[in-house]
Structure 1
Amino acid sequence: MILAAGVAMMVTLALGPKFIEWLQVKKFGQFVREEGPQTHLIKAGTPTMGGVMVLIGLLAALFVVARPTFSTLAALIIVFSVAAIGLYDDWQKITKKQNEGLSVRLKFLFLGIAVLVADILALRYVGITQNVVVPGFEQNLVLGPGIIGIVLFSVLMLLVIVGTTNAVNLADGLDGLAAGAGCISLLVYTAIAFLERQYDVAVLCGGMAGAVVGFLWFNSHPAEVFMGDTGSLAIGGVLAAAAILTKTEMLLPIIGGVFVLEALSVILQFGYFKLTRRRIFKMAPIHHHFELSGWQENKIVVRFWILQAAFAAAGFMIYYLTLYTAV
């Protein structure tokens, strides 16, 4: 795990300057919405698609350390499926100078196919069971026998993957916010996978954490490069895959608490506005609310990291106490 993290971080750090220079030459710059915070207009043109650096770092780590197992393959199918969707969205934004990428229907179609393949691998070859572990309860929630259980498990996988990737994507609005919070969550899942003796998953999470730390070197304020949808969806994909493979889906909303808060702020803002034509927050996701309230960007990011560390520690404590009680 340490070797995977180290290799991924060093590769990402080494690749960064040349890759950022290449993005600048190609003019692959960030498109900034005019209706967003005015302080963000200065960020227009900053190179994006930095998530490609993260993926290359991760692949380098897996090439050196990982074993060719079905567990690793199932996770990579999920991760690179969502990353490919993010890469296409980034490309559309760059070429069309707008925020519209792949349609929702096509996203769900491609994700559905990826989930189905990963589902078959997880159930048949990895040994994942069709049940949900609820912390604090002795009995697990069984999704059903035969084809019913497979369908329900596939739906659960899809919900976990879509929810996690979109939540991480919503948090990617300030320099270093999604990367730092994602790294904290990945470190917790590295520990959980290790304690579950799922060492392939632990290597994947450790490698991704190392790659994200290397990327954060360039993404810290003021950012030299943005991760784009490619990176945020990839981080979310690794977290979702780790939660599914370690049977900790119910703990993921706690371990990734900041991402949940970001997503909830958007849902609440949208729903309340539809009902009352008024807003709860000055702008959603919630980090923009604090920006418009006068908080400096760095202060928001660091405070969200602290909050994320508290959420992650709480999630890990619940997991560890449940494991200790079971033993």
Structure 2
Amino acid sequence: MHWTEMLLSSVSSFALTIMAMPIIIGYFRTKQLGQTTRDDGPKWHEVKTGTPTMGGVVFLIASVISTVWVGVWQKSLSISLGLLLFITLLYGLLGFLDDFIKVFRKRNLGLTSKQKLIGQLVGGLLFFIVYQLNNLPTNLTIPLIGSIDFGWFYGIFALFWLVGFSNAVNLTDGLDGLVAGTAGIAYTAYAFIAWNQQQTDILIFCLTIMGGLVGFFFFNKKPAKIFMGDVGSLALGGGLAAVSILLKQEWSLLLIGLIFVIETASVMIQVTSFKLTGKRVFKMSPIHHHFEISGWSEWRIVLAFWFISLITAVLSLWLVF
């Protein structure tokens, strides 16, 4: 795949996102529909109440359209690409339902955690069944140990990976531009790996997501004109996990997606500590809120997390190559 064709994949998604986003923002403002901030969140986030949300719908649709037409043009439609689009759209649909209930039905909680988990597990199970039926590799490479074929038991890992990282990216989505940047860096890293492996189908997918996120960032940077919502964050996390599985670079996501791992770990540590000792380890979790309450500006936190993501992505690429 020539570099001009790779650029076109990203530019297509970027252009569609840039053109459609103002329409969505205008619709939400006209209907006076928007995000409701958490009651237990930082008080200064109250100014964000009413900001349009569900922006993830735009960059996801833009990415899917671009992926399909470029895939057809490059004759790169495949089972792997189908699996990527399936898990991304299904997890995006779960997020869409959650956002829709919150915004249009005025129910703060949206889908229950149980409903979302069931949907994620069903989606992950269908992903693995198709994966297995097409005889895709079920080996897992463990650093310092080697490659082990787990057969059907690989499905347990795949479910954990898909659900875990989908929720991890969702937890990270709490500051203007944070996930747009960290996820964009992660997809860029996997685009390099896909290019190195000559997996054009996965490369196209990563490039279109990158383009969509860059377009979205212009509207999501502080002060955000729109948030991506669960429709965007759940889809991005599921897509990242699926990409790492299909490239057989599963372990790399722990490093490339280190920020997502840290954010999730901070919530788990906070909950466990409070239940066992009645004390909190962080001022607030996920950890980006801890830094906010500690006096860091929103931009300082976002830039610091981006920088960490960039460093871990470069380190991962060095280890892979």
TM-score w.r.t. length of structure 2: 0.93
Correspondence for 1:53 = 58
Alpha carbons 2:64, 2:85 under 8 Å: kept: no
Structure 2 vs 1, CA of residues 257 and 21 (structure 1 numbering), >3 Å: closer, same or farther? same
1:140 to 144, 147, 153: 147
Structure 2 CA distance for aligned equivalents of residues 292 and 109 of structure 1? 34
Q: Tell me the amino acid that sits aligned with residue 272 of structure 2.
A: G
Spell out the pairing of 1:111-122 with structure 2 (5 A cutoff): 111-122=120-131
Alpha carbons 2:264, 2:286 under 8 Å: kept: yes
Correspondence for 1:190 = 191
Structure 2 CA distance for aligned equivalents of residues 269 and 280 of structure 1? 6
Correspondence for 1:272 = 273
Correspondence for 1:305 = 306
Correspondence for 1:83 = 92
Structure 2 CA distance for aligned equivalents of residues 114 and 200 of structure 1? 21
Q: Tell me how far 1:196 sits from its aligned partner.
A: 1.7
SS in 1 for 2:142: coil
Correspondence for 1:123 = 132
Q: Tell me how far 1:100 sits from its aligned partner.
A: 1.8
Alpha carbons 1:31, 1:98 under 8 Å: kept: no
Spell out the pairing of 1:63-82 with structure 2 (5 A cutoff): 63-66=68-71, 67-82=76-91
Q: CA RMSD, aligned part only? A: 1.4
Q: Tell me the amino acid that sits aligned with residue 130 of structure 2.
A: L
Q: Tell me how far 1:111 sits from its aligned partner.
A: 2.5
Structure 1 CA distance for aligned equivalents of residues 180 and 96 of structure 2? 17
SS in 2 for 1:140: strand
Alpha carbons 2:124, 2:163 under 8 Å: kept: no
Correspondence for 1:177 = 178
Q: Tell me how far 1:136 sits from its aligned partner.
A: 4.3
TM-score w.r.t. length of structure 1: 0.92
Aligned pairs, how many? Answer: 312
Structure 1 CA distance for aligned equivalents of residues 206 and 218 of structure 2? 19
For structure 1, list consecutive stretches of 5 or more residues without a partner in the other structure: 144-148, 321-327
Structure 2 CA distance for aligned equivalents of residues 26 and 186 of structure 1? 34
1:83-121 CA-to-partner distances (Å, cap 9, x unmatched) read 011001111211344442223333333333322332233
1:195-244 CA-to-partner distances (Å, cap 9, x unmatched) read 12211011101110110110001000000000000011111122111011
Structure 2 CA distance for aligned equivalents of residues 107 and 34 of structure 1? 21
Structure 1 CA distance for aligned equivalents of residues 199 and 92 of structure 2? 23
- Indicate whether 1:6 and 2:6 are aligned: no
- Indicate whether 1:21 and 2:26 are aligned: yes
Q: Tell me the amino acid that sits aligned with residue 49 of structure 1.
A: M
Deviates more, 1:111-120 or 1:16-25: 111-120
Alpha carbons 1:165, 1:235 under 8 Å: kept: yes
Structure 1 CA distance for aligned equivalents of residues 266 and 122 of structure 2? 30
SS in 2 for 1:132: strand
Alpha carbons 2:77, 2:201 under 8 Å: kept: no
- Indicate whether 1:34 and 2:52 are aligned: no
Deviates more, 1:112-121 or 1:170-179: 112-121
Correspondence for 1:146 = none
Correspondence for 1:245 = 246
Q: Tell me how far 1:68 sits from its aligned partner.
A: 2.8
Structure 2 CA distance for aligned equivalents of residues 183 and 59 of structure 1? 16
Correspondence for 2:3 = none
Correspondence for 1:325 = none
Alpha carbons 1:205, 1:238 under 8 Å: kept: no
Spell out the pairing of 1:200-215 with structure 2 (5 A cutoff): 200-215=201-216
Alpha carbons 1:11, 1:60 under 8 Å: kept: no
1:25-53 CA-to-partner distances (Å, cap 9, x unmatched) read 23330011122111100000000000001
Q: Tell me the amino acid that sits aligned with residue 109 of structure 1.
A: I
Structure 2 CA distance for aligned equivalents of residues 135 and 3 of structure 1? 36
Q: Tell me how far 1:279 sits from its aligned partner.
A: 0.8
Deviates more, 1:168-177 or 1:90-99: 90-99
Q: Tell me the amino acid that sits aligned with residue 128 of structure 2.
A: D
- Indicate whether 1:44 and 2:49 are aligned: yes
Q: Tell me the amino acid that sits aligned with residue 94 of structure 1.
A: V
Q: Tell me the amino acid that sits aligned with residue 162 of structure 1.
A: V
SS in 2 for 1:133: strand
Deviates more, 1:70-79 or 1:107-116: 107-116
Structure 1 CA distance for aligned equivalents of residues 265 and 125 of structure 2? 28
